[in-house]
Structures are given as C-alpha cells and as structure tokens.
Chains A and B, each alone.
Chain A
Amino acid sequence: MRKSKFMKLFFVWIAMVSLTLTTEAIAKEKPYKGVTITMLVTGHPATEAMKSVIPDFEKETGMRILLDEMDYTRLYDKAKMELSSPVSAYDTIMTDGVWIPEWAAKNLIVPLEPYLKDPGLGDPTYDLEDVLYIDANLTYNGILYALSMSGETNLLFYRKDLFEKYGKEVPQTMKDLMATAKFFHERESRLYGISLRGKRGPEIYFGWAMLLFPFGGTVIDENNQPVINSAEAVESLEFYVELMKYAPLGQSSFSYDETVGAFIHGEAAMFIDATNIAYMENPDYSRIVGKIGWALPPQKEGKPSKTEACGWTLPIPANAKNKKAAFKFIQWLTNKENDKRMALVGGMPNRESAFMDPELVKKYAYYPAVLEALKHIDPTVFPRLPEWPDMQEYIGLAASEALLGTKSPKEALDWAQKKLEPILAHYRK
C-alpha cells in the first residue's frame, strides 16, 4: 500500500520533470510557439495551394496562421490603410508585385535581406538565386522587399483542336496574329478571334501592354521620363483597338475573370494573358481541358520577343507586430520544398528548380514554355516606380477611351503623356 503510494508520487514527479524538459526543448526548437500570424489574402489558385500546406507549418512550429480573405478590388486600399496606421493588423500581406516600389519608397514595408542573413532566423538552404521574378516583382532600387508567392508571365494560348480543324499555323508575328484572329472570328457562330482584357484601369493596361512592349514601345525611358505617346506606342494601341474588333462582345468591360472566362468557355480561339494554366486546365471551371495549346507571344516583325512578369508577393509591413515570426512563415512557405508542393496542387512555382523538376514537368507539360517566356521578360512593363499606381490610372483611362473610340489612340496617348509628365518631373536631371 505504502509502496504503491510512493510509486505513484514517483511517477508524478517523473512526469512533471519530463514535461518541464520537453517544454524547454520546445521553447528552444519552437521559439514562436503560440504566436499568431495574421495574413491578408485574396482569392487565387496560389491561396488555395497555400491553404493545403499551412497545417504542416502550424504543426512544425506551434504558430497559428490566420487568413483574412478579401476581394481583389478592395485589397489595395485596405492594405494601404493598414500600412499607414500605427500598428498593422496584418503580419504579411498578399501583394501584387507592382505595389512593392510605392510601399518600399514610403517605408511601409521592410527590407528582407537582414532577416535572411539573421543566423537564428534565415534558412541557409533558401537559395535566393533559384527564385525567378526578383527584379520584376520583389525589389525596389535593388533591395529585396518581398518573397515570391506566385509568379506569372504571359503566353499565347490557343485552341489546338480549332487550329487543327482549319489547318492554321500558330501566329508568330503580329501580322499573323491579326490575320488569325480575323480568320477565326469569321468562321463559327459564338466563336471570337481572341480574348484580351479591356476594362478601364489596370486591366486594360495589362491587355494592351502585351502588345506595347513587343512593338518596341515603353512607358518610361532610362531617365524615368514618360514616353507613352511614342510612335511605337501609338502604333501598338492602334493595333490593340483593331485586334479587339475580333474579341467577344463586352470586352471593353472585361477584367481578367471574364477574359479568361471567354476562353475557357470555348468562345475565343486565342488568348494572351498570364500563365495561370492550372486553372484553365481544371475541369471544374473549363470546357476546353486538353485542347489548350501554348506558345511564346507573337513578335513584331524584326523586333525581339517581350513578355511581362507579374505576380503575388509577400512583404512584411514596417508596422507589423510579429515581423520575425512572419518572416519565418513566408520563408518556409516559399522554400524549395513548398514551392514544389504547392505547384503540385495548382499553384504557380517561383523557382527555376521547380520548372526543371522532372515530376512537375511530367505533370505540367507547359513548364518549358513558361521558362522560355521568362527569358524574354522586360521588367519595365510595370515600371518599378513608386508613382506607378498614380500613372496607371491615366494610362488605363487613355487606353479605354481609345478602345471606345471617344478619342483616337494618338489623342488619348498625348493626353496621358501630358498627365504623366508632372508626376515624373522630379526625376528630370
């Protein structure tokens, strides 16, 4: 009787000691146990892919990840409001790469190099050189401000079945593109030539920029002065307006959703846009699974190929509460292993190693094409300037008016040039 009581006490003591020891061990291994990371996100295949790996991170570190999901249209101002308040409610924000320069220039987000080099925090196997999109999406003035969550470039997508049926070649030049769009437009009822974005604002700029840069135009020159009304730019906008005659009705109000919608519902023969292919090949949404072909976007005769790079990135707000813990999370999320894991469930990879990975290439036959398009990136398609959101408003309006026909492309772009000049005047030497 006595002995058993002693034994009981002994066991309790053992249990307590081991518990203290383990909690100490946990504290060493899991320094951020119990910390909650709040993240502002928007609906995207990458967000869904991220959700599938987050439980592992929570198990591994004892941290909690809280996602606040918001409509894309409201994301920018919501984020900006949080960043300008004394303490941000979010520890990291799903950020369109084009917003990084503005936020970095205003010191609203922090440089990530020190965190990456922090011996207690930085992952030595992270391999930043493996990450694509760095210049185009993650930096401002050469300083790293974000990690890449979902990188994208653009390709020409076309309906393999239709091209075969009518014996058409995939267009290589802009002239071919126009002719092919016209050809399919006149062939079948409810089939249009091409689908491109046209809604006023950032959307129409995206649609037109696919042509502007291959035509040899740019938004700014090397001294950061606007050149939006150059002869090349005007020519490309005229081409865009002409090409949109072969686009589905309503295209001048179409954002990405409706533009990709027209293509995957089988209403357009061609589509030039972001490489969000896992979505287009998903039978839950798409009627043309297995019929999608892809190629490098057409070139302007005698001019080099140009593609854009855009995508979702993860910066850390300067006014965030748990900066180190947040860094630990985004570093983990974007490491080699998870880049591949998320790609397997529908995300877009951000690393060259993932694009070369045999298992992934076997599953996604378009990876080599994306990698090829990435070689032709012009990082100035979305100029890395803090003024860009401001500038884009005017460019987006000018292009929209040209598309509507209320102004000629030349008039519209002259107007935009006049609006951009004062915005960029302070760069003038």
Chain B
Amino acid sequence: MGKTLKKLKGEYFPYLLVLPEVIYLLLIIIYPLIFSLNLTFYKWTFGLPFDTKKFVWIQNYLELFSDSLFWTSVAVLLKYAVVSITLELSIGFGVALLLNRELRGAGVMKVLMIVPLTITPTVVGLAWRLLYNAQYGMINYFLSLFDIGAVDWLGSYTLAFFSVIIADVWQWTPFMILILLSGLQALPEEPYDAAIVDGASSWQVLKYLTIPMLVPVILIAVLIRIMDILRLFDKIFVLTFGGPGTATEVLSLYTYRIGFVQSHMGKAAAASYILLFIIVGISFIFVKLSYKQIEM
C-alpha cells in the first residue's frame, strides 16, 4: 500500500496535477474543434434538430470553392490585412521612435493610447459610422470648414474599404506603438555608444542597429495583429455590413451570412476551417521567420 502510494506520488503525481488543465482544454478547445471539423462534412440546417444532418463528404468545401463570393471575401480579407498592418506598423514604428526619446508628456500619451485598445470593436464601429456620415458626420463637417465638399466615406466602392481600414488603424496602431516601444527600451545601450564613438549618423544607427535588433519584436507584433485581423468581424458588421456591394466583405462576415442568416451550418463550419488554415499557415511562416532571427 505504502509502496503504491509512493509510486503514485513519484510517477503519476505530476500527471495528476496537470489533469484539470487537460480536461479544461479538452472540453473548451479540443472538443469544439473536433465537433466543428466533423460538422464540415455534413449538411445541417441551423434551427432544425441536430439529428436531421446529412453526411455529404466534402461537398461543403466544393460548394465554397465554386462560389465566387467566397473568393471575393478571401481576397478582400487579405488585401485588408496587408494594407492595415502595413499602415499600423509604419505609423506605430515612427511614433514609438518619437516616444523613446526624452519627451515631455510621454507618460500621459502612453496612457491615452491605451484608450482605443480598451473600446469594444462594435462601439468603435458605431462611433466611426457617425463620424463618417456624409450628411451630419463630424469628419465632413471639419472638411467643410476648409471648403472641401462632402465625401461619401462609406457609400463608395473604393472609399468604404479605406474607411474601415482607417477605423482599424485608429484603434490598433497604439498596440503596435506600445509593443515596439517596449522593444526599443529593452535594447542594449552599448552598441549605440560604440556607434556614436565611430561617428555614425542617426540614419545609419536606425538602419544598421535599431531595426535589425528590433526585428524579432516587429515579427511578434505583426504576428499578433495578423491573427487578430484575419478574424475581424464586429467593426465591419456595424460599419458597412460588407457593403456597398462586396467592397468590405471579409471571410468572417461571409461565414456569418452562410451560417447564421442562411442557416447552412456545415458550409459555415467549412469556411471557418479554411479561415483557420489561412491563419495557421501565415502564423507558421512568421514563427519560422522569428526563430531564424533569434538564431542569428
């Protein structure tokens, strides 16, 4: 008896300790993942009893791949991710460099920058919808003070896409700034001292010291943003509902329509899985890249 207890303590005790966590993971993450993966092979109408579902092999995927709207939504999503992350990174990096200097009021600025991050995306969407309103929105009002005619922010095909991006950049650039700033402040000082002794210009310091040393942090910041932006939903839902036309129809919105409005749950699950593969694929590339950087 004593021996078994000892053995239990010695060999199995660690497993016992992680058991609650494993059960939690199984229930909350693994089970839904398997459940929805299974669902992608079925036709099930949302609202009907679950046992009315029908096994259809990979028909859901085939239907998605032959739907031009699906490809439009994937293209819009990728375009959206590239443009907004590029903007967020470049603006964020610039502001982070500024704040990294001895600057009066930097503390207050950092606190203020957290504010957009804490607002729910739906509320951000509603606020920007009012700002963008072509008739009585604040933005057009201020433009009119400079004799600039009213701009149709959300109603025109090309502008609507950028209007959504501006709202996203407004909310998420501070995130880039904060991460890059903490990266900048963690950089060692010796190389800079050496560079000054060698008479390097500030441009050379930035190009040959700061950016190369900061690359791992940049990669991580971009990675987090990519994972977040690819499942973007609420802001667009409130701002444009995917319109006008398909100008702002991203994959998650397309999935929502298929599943919740049009009731094709199996097809929606398949679309979610494709989104998951896109996210995992891109993340994989970035993780690989950042490991390479660290090894260097």
Contacts and interface: CB of A to CB of B under 8 A. Distances in A.
Contact of B237 (A73, A102, A251): A73
Contacts of A406: 157, 245
B245 A253 contact: no
B45 to A, nearest CB: 8
Interface string A372-390: 0000000000000000011
Interface stretch (A259-267, A292-300, A355-363): A259-267
Interface residues of A, number: 35
A251 B153 CA distance: 11
B136 to A, nearest CB: 7
A145 B247 CA distance: 38
Contacts of B45: 106
A250 B260 contact: no
Interface in A83-107: 83-84, 102-103, 106
Contacts of B34: none
A200 B240 contact: yes
Contacts of A201: 241-243
Interface in B86-144: 133-136
Contact of A265 (B135, B150, B247): B135
B47 A199 contact: no
A262 B135 CA distance: 8
Contact of A404 (B240, B244, B257, B261): B244
B135 A248 contact: yes
A199 B239 CA distance: 10
A403 B136 CA distance: 22
B242 to A, nearest CB: 6
Nearest to B67: A419
A80 to B, nearest CB: 6
B263 A253 contact: no
A299 to B, nearest CB: 29
B235 to A, nearest CB: 13
B221 interface: no
Interface in A264-291: 265, 267
A401 interface: yes
Contacts of A262: 135
Interface string B228-263: 000000000110111111110000000011001111
Given A80-B46, A249-B152, A267 B245 contact: no
A401 B241 CA distance: 14
B243 A248 contact: no
B246 A397 contact: yes
A288 to B, nearest CB: 15
Nearest to A83: B47
B155 interface: yes
Interface in A242-263: 248-254, 258, 261-262
A103 B47 contact: yes
Nearest to A401: B245
Nearest to A250: B134
Contacts of A404: 156-157, 244-245, 247
Contacts of B246: 397, 401
Nearest to A190: B135
A77 interface: yes
For chain A, what secondary structure do more than half of its interface residues adopt (helix, strand, loop), or is it mixed? helix
A281 to B, nearest CB: 20
B157 A250 contact: no
B47 A106 contact: yes
B261 A253 contact: no
Contacts of A390: 261-263
Contacts of A84: 46-47
A282 to B, nearest CB: 18
A219 B97 CA distance: 59
Contact of B154 (A253, A397, A400): A253
B226 interface: no
Contacts of B257: 393
For chain B, what secondary structure do more than half of its interface residues adopt (helix, strand, loop), or is it mixed? loop
Given A248-B134, A261-B136, A390-B263, A253 B243 contact: yes
B244 A389 contact: no
A250 B155 contact: yes
Nearest to B125: A73
A200 B243 contact: yes
A265 B244 contact: no
B48 interface: yes
B169 interface: no
B153 to A, nearest CB: 7
Contact of B261 (A198, A252, A267, A393): A393
B244 A102 contact: no
A108 interface: yes
Given A76-B261, A80-B47, A84-B47, A253 B160 contact: yes
Q: Which of A261, A262, A267, A404 has the most CB of B within 10 A?
A: A404
Interface in A184-239: 198-201
A389 B262 contact: yes
Contacts of A265: 135-136
B49 to A, nearest CB: 9
Q: Which of A84, A200, A251, A262 has the most CB of B within 10 A?
A: A200
A84 B263 CA distance: 12
B135 A261 contact: yes
Contact of B238 (A73, A102, A103, A389): A73
B48 A106 contact: yes
A149 to B, nearest CB: 22
Contact of A249 (B46, B134, B244, B261): B134
Interface string A399-410: 011011010000
A80 B45 CA distance: 12
A393 B242 CA distance: 11
A397 B245 contact: yes
A426 B201 CA distance: 75
Interface in B1-59: 45-48
A251 B155 contact: yes
Nearest to B50: A84
Interface in B201-244: 237-238, 240-244
6 contacts: A76-B260, A249-B152, A250-B150, A253-B152, A393-B262, A397-B69
Given A390-B263, A406-B245, 16 more contacts: A73-B237, A77-B261, A80-B260, A102-B47, A198-B155, A199-B241, A200-B241, A249-B155, A250-B133, A250-B134, A250-B152, A253-B152, A265-B136, A400-B245, A403-B244, A404-B156
Interface of A: 73, 76-77, 80, 83-84, 102-103, 106, 108, 198-201, 248-254, 258, 261-262, 265, 267, 389-390, 393, 397, 400-401, 403-404, 406
